[in-house]
Structure 1
Amino acid sequence: MALNCWLAYGALAQNTTGHSPYSRFGLGDLSSQGGSRAMGMAETGVAAPSDENINLLNPALLTYNRVTNFQIDLYGQRKKMSTSSASETSTGGGLTNLAFSFPITKKMTAAFGLSPYSSVDYWLNTTTVMNTATDTASAIYAYKGSGSLSKVFLATGYAITPNLSVGVQANYLFGTLTNESVVQILPASDNNSFSVNKRDYYSRILFKPGVFYKAIIDTASRKYIGIGATIELGSSGNLRYDNKIYEYDGQGGTVEIDERSINQKTNFTMPATYRVGLGMGVPLKWKLAADFSYTDWTKLKNNNTTSNSAMNAAYMAAVGGEWIPGYHKAGYWNKVTYRAGLNFQQTPITVNGQKINDMYVGLGMGLPIFRKETKFMYPMVNLGLAVGQRGTTQNSGIKENYFRISLGFVLNDNLWFTRYKID
């Protein structure tokens, strides 16, 4: 008889996504890439240009940033994980992204920055009871994981025409992910427990080209309809890893019994991600956006072969928008940007035959900070909220109910490099 318990015991180190059993699979929990503005619009934005905010979803939209921009986004999350018989809460947080953009020419803008890509943080336990003719024994299996991947990026966007722009982003992906499996046989005796520790060292350059086209459908209001697309190109190469096997000595210590798999290499394949978006709106009034993305995670190859067997193709569909009541009207709250959206994801994870889905509602605000020196470009504080659910308790699964908050600060100003005259 097997008794499965897929819930954590104890607290592990916090990271950008917090503790999650689902981070065992693939490259871990993928981080939000769009920042506070995108969270408020449910992670839409491939076809949603912005003059004030750096668009981190489509490098082609950098051409709309015509002044120097500095942007930082912070992230926090609280989630409740539940099975049919138990529950636990977890928190996490950290930096979402740090980005800087600046115009090179009238048609070209460049950007660079740093952001998390994924994180691994889990501790799972499974107990199997084995009955024999003479005795009863239990095998306890513990699975632990930790680590994170980050990326440094350099991007540029170029306006071929006022309505057509292209861009490309180069990401340097780096970090370490550790997965450990521990087996213990009860009743306890000497040399009845061992662990396998797998540590992968990632270092890879990934490219993401993008394009955006808009058509003006009303000249007076500058109302437009647009389409955008990006491809985060896949990559293949070598992955360096360490595989260590330890045996417990019965005195609370461990003895390494296999040193043959230190500083080894294996094949690594990163699947491509395709994303397309539609958008329409009136500048300084409102915008609507719809995004769809697809990644075939069955093509992922790394050292985590056990969890990858549960990986499938994944897609994301989202709609969102933002609205400014009266940009040119008196009153501060008329100039605030209000955002909302809905996001649905079929994640690449399947557990006990059950596909794991993720759905959340996003809300947000863009709070301008006015200054007398400029009429249209000003610092902004972005607030994004997301309330959602991932997974289900069916088929001995885990349900995660989460609340996320993202706080972003944007400084965008063409006055930084202006020479002033003293009368």
Structure 2
Amino acid sequence: MIKRYLVVILVFTSVITSAQRNNSSPYSFFGIGENFTPKTVEQASMGGIGVAMKDSQYLNFVNPAANADLRFATYSLGGVTSFLNLKETNRTQSGNSTSLSYISLGFPIGDKAGFIAGLQPSSSVGYALLNQTLDGNDVIELTRYTGDGGTNRLYASYGMYLFDGFSVGLEGAFIFGKTNNSTLNQRANVSLATKYKEETTIRGSEFKIGAQYKIKLKNKLEFSSGIAIKLSNDLIQRGNQQLYSLTFGGSGVEIPRDTLFLNSVRRTITNPLKTIAGFGIGKENKWYVGVNSEYQKALSFSDNFQQESTYKYENGLRTSIGGYYIPKINSISSYWDRVTYRAGLRMERTGLLVDGTGTGNNFTSINDFGINVGLGLPLPRQISSLNLGLEYGQKGTTNNNLIKENYFNVRLSLSLNSLNWFQKREID
């Protein structure tokens, strides 16, 4: 039954992932949106660790070298619902969004290699901001900022063992997507409003290499270490930008008037080399604790797309710690003894600097912090599982005229495993 519907599910969910708007963060206003770090629901529930983890039945999006440990054909589908509360100095606002996080298929190649392919979001734009200029109690100017879109990554990843305990991997991805951004300005006692609109497509590629090493210690303990390096890559953004005047019809419909300028856009966005390193210790199918550290230099742009008076970029840094515990994986008497219990936390300097005053002299680092817990629920008479992850986090600050996000994420994934998806049936 799983194999019968696998292709239909993959195509259907791929279309949804490409078309969805999956962000409501005001910080997606900057650059080409909020960047996502690829991770499964299982990894997210452990704070995002995974660079050193080895597992035979779960996919690993952090380190392609982990593919060498796949022993089951695995189809994995994950999604997230985010509940967001935004706080400024004197007011609050809330919202939510739901989206697919990934669709991936992995399978072993012999006893010492594995392959994964899939589709994931790479960045997202989704904001609606309103700025008012007051004269006493009267509004004399309104500016509305809106944006949507983002990029996805279609990727393939391969890992293999070079010798006992040591594996290497390579991942390649094609990045594609669209972004739409607009700024509408209207002043009191002025008949015409003005609107700036930019519509672009984004294309590019990226590559990641990785390595893992595991050794056995005393008392069935295992120590593992890993490193993954995402090479520097360029994204090409092309499209049009337009500034025009407009009026509003009786139902609020925009009626364009005069075009003030219409220009083509072509810019290069350079993502510097990113390094992820970590280690972990545990007992197979019992418990594991790991630490990840991720570092990346500042993003750069080929033109004045980066508004130096409003925002700029610095080096990014993320530290994650987490793990799992399984009371008794082969328990017959208790279902809850077979459940995987996960937890973790992460601390991140996102690399984004924002000046809420607009003077260019008071930049503030946008930091992110999250606490995670999760469950891996085995399906009856299956080696597959349903995975639930919960995350509470805070991003940004109310200092310097900025916005603080308090968010709660509910993640859900289905990991379907089989030994015989790609084996030819034989009739005796």
TM over 0.5: yes
* Aligned-partner Cα distance in 2 for 1:105–1:326: 29
Residue aligning to 1:357: 367
Q: Where in structure 2 are the equivalents of 1:349-388 lying within 5 Å?
A: 349-352=352-355, 353-371=363-381, 378-388=383-393
Quick check: 1:200–1:303 contact (8 Å CA) kept in 2? no
1:285 paired with 2:291, answer no
Q: Is the 8 A contact 1:271 1:300 kept in 2?
A: no
Relative distance call for 1:178 and 1:319 in structure 2 (3 A) is same
* Native 8 Å contact 1:14 1:92 kept in 2: no
Assess if the C-alpha contact under 8 Å between 1:321 and 1:340 holds in 2. Answer: yes
Equivalence for 1:348:
351
Contact map agreement 1:196 1:244 (CA 8 A) in 2:
yes
- Residue of 224, 227, 246 corresponding to 1:226: 224
Tell me the number of residue pairs that the alignment of Structure 1 and Structure 2 aligns: 396
Q: Residue in 2 aligned with 1:408?
A: 413
> CA distance change for structure 1 residues 113 and 237 in 2, over 3 Å: closer, same or farther?
closer
Amino acid of the structure 2 residue aligned with 1:261: N
Q: 1:137, 1:358 → 2: CA distance?
A: 34
User: 2:22 is matched by which residue type in structure 1?
Assistant: T
Distance 2:261 2:190 in 1: 26
Q: 1:324 offset after TM fit, Å?
A: 0.7
Q: CA deviation at 1:138?
A: 3.2
Q: Deviation at 1:358? A: 1.0
**Equivalent-residue separation in structure 2 for 1:279 and 1:54 (angstroms):** 17
Determine the structure 2 residue equivalent to 1:272: 273
Counterpart residue type for residue 209 of structure 2: P
Q: Report deviation, 1:106.
A: 2.1
2:147 alignment partner in structure 1: 145
How big is each residue's C-alpha offset from its partner over 1:173-217, in whole Å with a ceiling of 9 and x where there is no partner? 11011221222222223x4x3121122211111111111112222
Point out the more displaced range, 284-293 or 179-188: 179-188
Residue of structure 1 equivalent to 2:201 = 201
Match of 1:374 in 2: none
Q: How does 1:177-196 map to 2 (within 5 A)?
A: 177-189=179-191, 191=192, 193-196=193-196
Cα distance, 1:301 vs structure 2: 4.5
Rate the CA distance shift 1:236–1:29 in 2: closer, same or farther, 3 A.
closer
- Residue 73 (structure 2) pairs with residue 81 (structure 1): no
Q: Which amino acid aligns with 1:348?
A: G
More displaced, 327-336 or 109-118? 327-336
Select the residue among 42, 45, 69 that pairs with 1:40: 45
Q: 1:137 to 1:91 in 2, by over 3 A?
A: closer
Per the alignment, in what secondary structure is the counterpart of residue 119 of structure 2? Answer: strand
Q: Quick one: percent identity of the two aligned structures?
A: 28
Please state how far the C-alpha of 1:228 moved relative to its aligned partner.
1.0
- Alpha-carbon separation, structure 2, partners of 1:291 and 1:47: 8
Contact 2:78/2:100 (8 A) holds in 1: yes
2:15 equivalent in structure 1: none
2-structure distance, mates of 1:421, 1:150: 40
Match of 2:118 among 113, 117, 126: 113
CA, structure 1 residues 137+61, in 2 after alignment: closer, same or farther (shift >3 Å)? Answer: closer
Unaligned runs of 5+ in 2: 1-18, 356-362
Deviation at 1:57, TM superposition (A): 1.0
Shift of 1:110: 0.9
Query: Matches of residues 1-400 of structure 1 in structure 2 within 5 Å?
Result: 15-17=21-23, 19-128=24-133, 138-189=140-191, 191=192, 193-218=193-218, 221=220, 223-236=221-234, 238-249=236-247, 252-255=254-257, 257-258=259-260, 260-262=262-264, 264-301=265-302, 304-306=305-307, 309-330=311-332, 331-352=334-355, 353-371=363-381, 378-400=383-405
How far residue 256 of structure 1 moved from its aligned partner, in angstroms, is: 5.1
Matched residue type, 2:366: I
Question: Could you tell which deviates more after superposition, 385-394 or 269-278?
Answer: 269-278
**Structure 1 unaligned regions, length at least 5:** 1-12, 372-376
Q: Which moved more, 1:309-318 or 1:137-146?
A: 137-146
- Secondary structure of the residue aligned to 2:336 is helix
- Secondary structure of residue in 1 paired with 2:266: strand
State the shift of 1:259 in Å: 5.6
Compared CA separation, residues 77 and 303, structure 1 to 2 (3 A): farther
Displacement of 1:125: 2.5
Deviation at 1:421, TM superposition (A): 6.4
| Per-residue CA distance 1:81-140 (angstroms, 9 max, x = gap) | 111211111111111111001122322211100011111111222334589xxxx99343
Distance 1:62 1:215, change over 3 A: same
Aligned to 1:4: none
In structure 1, how many angstroms separate the alpha carbons of the residues matched to 2:139 and 2:114? 66
Does the C-alpha gap of structure 1 residues 147 and 237 become closer, same or farther in structure 2, counting only changes over 3 Å? closer
Post-superposition offset of 1:304: 3.4
Report the alpha carbon displacement of residue 422 of structure 1 after superposing the two structures with TM. 6.5
**Can you list the C-alpha shifts for 1:301-355, whole angstroms capped at 9, x where unaligned?**
4773227843222111110000111223432211111000011111222233322
Structure 1 distance, partners of 2:141, 2:269, is 33
Q: Which amino acid letter does the alignment assign opposite residue 144 of structure 2?
A: A
Mapped contact 1:286–1:322 kept (Cα < 8 A): yes
Change (3 A) 1:238 1:56: closer
